[in-house]
Amino acid sequence: MSKLDTWIDNKVVQNIFIWFILLLILIVTIQAEQRILVAIFIILLLAPTIYINNLLILPYLRKKLPLFIGLFLLNTVVFTVISVLIIKTVLGQSLQLLMFINFFGILFLALAFASALKIARDSFTRRQQEKEAELKLLKGQLNPHFLFNTLNNLYGLSVVKSDKLPDLMLKLSDLLRYSLYDTKETYVSLEKEIQYLENYMSLEKIRLEDSTEIHFIKSGDTASKKIAPMLFIVFIENAFKHLGVSKDKKSSVSVLIESLNNQLIFKSRNSIDAVGVNHNSMETTNNGIGLKNAKKRLALLYPDKHQLIITKNDNSYDVSLTLDL
């Protein structure tokens, strides 16, 4: 998070900014000789009643609505009386019913606006927190899923005492370092994400040896772009998990990542058996951890900014994902 974002999210800074804007509005609109002093005086009258309402009374809105209404009106009446008495003392004006009515109306509208503003801000903050918690949960589900698949590959090579095991362990080390330490942020460098995918596919190439043709193509400007981490790996894992085996020709997996202006295009294709492949089983892996989570993350991180198309024919399974960055 940048310093600017930290300042924007700071509640003290938010409150100071709102009161400063209100002060400017009052200075411009008030028609009096000492406009600045009058504006400051009005803010000093408004501030206590608003903070009492927002901090002490507003929480009762969801718990006990009648109590909230009673306290809200009591707070308005009390500070209306206080304001009128202060003005009478300072300006020496006589008490009039119209003065009470005017100040009551002003305070009532000010409290209603302040309450609506705080409710909206709290609702936005709560939704953001829920969104972040859900994203952390989904990301936490992805990492163990990937580790489980990779350790299976490692075990298979260790059983046959393959000479490729050391290289596989180095690839695994790089993959784990990225998935555990470099993905803590909501967005990461696209270059790092691509390197992660290349390492994973290199690992699969070692496991599959010469039985599968594996292609990875990248094009366009990828250095300056950022993307949600581990977003594409689910599709690539699925491609290898459901890879078809053919006696006549090699199996194949191809992946394309293309950066065009403000769009990022991801495509993957894997060969499948002509029969015996259930499309629904390819939609989920490991008890639902897979494409379902990828779709959920896309909805949370790229709402109305992505297009995911998944198609299956007799010979291949294709995924096309377009992101507006």
Determine contact, residues 257/218, Cβ cutoff 8 Å.
yes
Q: Can you say whether residue 257 is alpha, beta or left, with left for phi > 0 and alpha for psi between -120 and 50 degrees?
A: beta
Which carries the bigger pLDDT value, residue 250 or residue 283? 250
Q: Which of 157-171, 229-243, 282-296 has the lowest mean pLDDT?
A: 282-296
Domain ranges of the chain: 3-125, 162-324
Instruction: Match domain 162-324 to its CATH number in 3.30.565.10, 3.40.50.300, 3.20.20.10, 3.60.110.10.
Output: 3.30.565.10
Is residue 285 predicted with pLDDT exceeding 50? no
Whether this prediction's pTM lies above 0.75 is answered by no
Which carries the bigger pLDDT value, residue 191 or residue 153? 191
d(CA 106, CA 25): 15
What is the model's pLDDT at position 95? 66
d(CA 307, CA 291): 14
φ, ψ of residue 207 in degrees (nearest 5)? -70, -40
Q: Each residue of 30-88: pLDDT tens digit?
A: 776 777 887 888 888 889 999 999 889 988 887 788 888 999 999 999 988 888 888 77
Is residue 319 predicted with pLDDT exceeding 60? yes
Is residue 134 predicted with pLDDT exceeding 70? no
Q: How far is CA 72 from the centre of its chain?
A: 35
Percentage above 70 pLDDT, the chain:
82
